[in-house]
Amino acid sequence: MSDAKKKLGEYLRLQGRAERTLESYLACCRKFEDETDIPLCDAQRQDIVDFLLFLREERKAQPPTLKMYMATFRKVFNEVLNRPEVMDGIPYPSTIQRLPEIPTKEEIRAVFDAATLPMHRALLVTAYGAGLRVGEVVSLQPADIDSRAGLIHVRRGKGAKPRRVMLGASLLEELRAYWRARRPTGVWLFPGAKPGTHFSIGGTQSALAAAVEASGVRRRIYMHLLRHAFATHLLEEGTDLRTIQALLGHATLETTTRYLHIRTDHIERTTSPLDRLFQKK
Catalytic residues: 133, 158, 224, 227, 250, 259
3-state SS, residue 165: strand
Q: Return all residues near 199 (Cβ < 8 A) that are at least 6 apart.
A: 119, 123, 138, 188, 190, 191, 192
Sheet-wide strand order for 151-154 = 145-146, 151-154, 163-166
φ, ψ at 94 (rounded to 5°): -75, 150
- CA distances 15 to 79, 101, 160, Å, are 12, 34, 8
User: For 13-25, what is the HEC assignment?
Assistant: HHHCCCHHHHHHH
The DSSP-derived string for 166-189 is E--HHHHHHHHHHHHHH---SS-S
